[in-house]
């Protein structure tokens, strides 16, 4: 199966001892590209994914300030982020958004940094990769005000919502990226979202090294495991696995302007 890992954290320290082998295994498994997320350990260190994209031909990069790092982000960090978006292998701003799970929440800082990054992405004409946890209502509200209507892709990474949330997202033109959670026994609501989503609105990811899919659950996740998630989604949708993998690959190449025959920018 050919497929692309649309969201992984290859810079994570868990890969320090065998990163070359991890990339090789992903390519051998059929992962044409890996999108390494550039939030790293937070500002001012925003180049972590770019360094990997420069080393590995199959790795693309994002740059972004994670909501957990919003309280420490400065004006200079935002300016640096804007500059890094000019790198030829940076294809999106992310992961950005809201996270109300960890305490203290720092909502005001999270909102401010999220809005500013939405503005920067719009100025740069870049897609966005959204992290939202326990914050659907506010995430949708801020996207409605500061993002919608600009014809740029919005990807809801590691989508974990049920059909009601999925329908709201799809109505707004957003894309759903499914991670290993969709393979978990108790995640029927996520599988139902994967069933109802149009094929041209789906991406697959690992979020490695986190959330390893069945049958690798409990182990360190890595990009080669994206095939397990893709096959499970194809199964629950009743799609041919090879055709499903080809479709989500086309979606990625289109959305992120990645090299390939379908690398034109979409209109929402």
Q: Is the pLDDT of residue 263 over 90?
A: no
Would residue 206 count as lying in a domain?
yes
Asked if residue 233 belongs to a domain, the reply is yes
List the CATH number of the domain containing 108.
Answer: 3.20.20.140
Pull the structure tokens for residue 87.
């790198």
Residue 264 has pLDDT above 90, yes or no: no
End-to-end CA distance of the chain: 28
CA nearest neighbour of 39 among 159, 207, 240, 258: 207
Residue 129 is assigned to a structural domain of this protein = yes
262 falls within a domain: no
Determine the pLDDT at residue 159. 98
pLDDT in tens, 27-81: 999 999 999 999 999 999 899 999 999 999 999 999 999 999 999 999 999 999 9
Establish if 119 belongs to a structural domain. yes
Domain around 208: 3-255
Mean pLDDT calculated for residue range 110-139: 98
State how far the Cα of 96 lies from the Cα of 43, in Å rounded to an integer. 13
* Number of independent structural domains in the chain: 1
Question: Which pLDDT value is given to residue 259?
Answer: 56
* pLDDT tens digits along 152-193: 999 999 999 999 999 999 999 999 999 999 999 999 999 999
- What are the helix (H) ranges across 30-106? 48-55, 75-84
Whether residue 260 is contained in a domain is answered as no
- Phi and psi of 19, rounded to 5°? -60, -40
Model confidence at 267: pLDDT above 70: no
219-262: pLDDT as tens digits:
999 999 999 999 999 999 999 999 999 999 999 999 997 654 44
Nearest to 200 by CA among 240, 132, 255, 124: 255
Q: Within 13 A of 140's CA, how many CA atoms are on the CB side? A: 14
Place of tokens 């799970």: 101
User: Does the residue 106 lie in any domain?
Assistant: yes
Quick one: how far is CA 135 from the chain centroid?
Answer: 17
Task: Write down the pLDDT at residue 235.
Answer: 98
Q: How far is CA 183 from the centre of its chain?
A: 18
Per-residue pLDDT tens for 8-22? Answer: 999 999 999 999 999
Structural domain contains residue 261 = no
Query: 3-class DSSP state for residue 97?
Result: strand
Residue-level pLDDT at 214: 98
């Amino acid at each position: 199966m050919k497929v692309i890992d649309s969201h992984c954290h290859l810079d994570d320290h868990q890969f320090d001892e065998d990163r070359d082998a991890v990339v090789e295994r992903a390519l051998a498994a059929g992962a044409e590209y890996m999108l390494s997320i550039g939030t790293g350990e937070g500002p001012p260190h925003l180049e972590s994914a770019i360094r990997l994209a420069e080393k590995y031909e199959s790795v693309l990069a994002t740059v972004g300030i994670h909501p957990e790092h919003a309280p420490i982000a400065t004006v200079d960090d935002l300016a640096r982020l804007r500059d890094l978006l000019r790198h030829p292998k940076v294809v999106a701003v992310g992961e950005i958004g809201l996270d109300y799970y960890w305490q203290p929440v720092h909502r005001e800082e999270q909102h401010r940094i999220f809005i500013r990054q939405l503005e920067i992405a719009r100025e740069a004409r870049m897609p966005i990769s959204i992290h939202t946890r326990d914050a659907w209502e506010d995430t949708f509200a801020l996207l409605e005000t500061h993002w919608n209507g600009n014809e740029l892709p919005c990807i809801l990474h590691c989508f974990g919502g049920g059909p009601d949330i999925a329908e709201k997202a799809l109505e707004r033109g957003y894309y759903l990226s499914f991670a290993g959670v969709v393979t978990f026994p108790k995640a029927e609501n996520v599988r139902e979202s994967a069933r109802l989503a149009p094929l041209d609105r789906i991406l697959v990811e690992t979020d490695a090294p986190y959330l390893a899919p069945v049958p690798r659950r409990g182990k360190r996740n890595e990009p080669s495991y994206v095939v397990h998630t893709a096959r499970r989604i194809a199964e629950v949708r009743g799609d041919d696995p090879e055709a499903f993998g080809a479709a989500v690959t086309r979606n990625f190449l289109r959305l992120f302007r990645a090299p390939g025959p379908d690398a034109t920018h979409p209109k929402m």
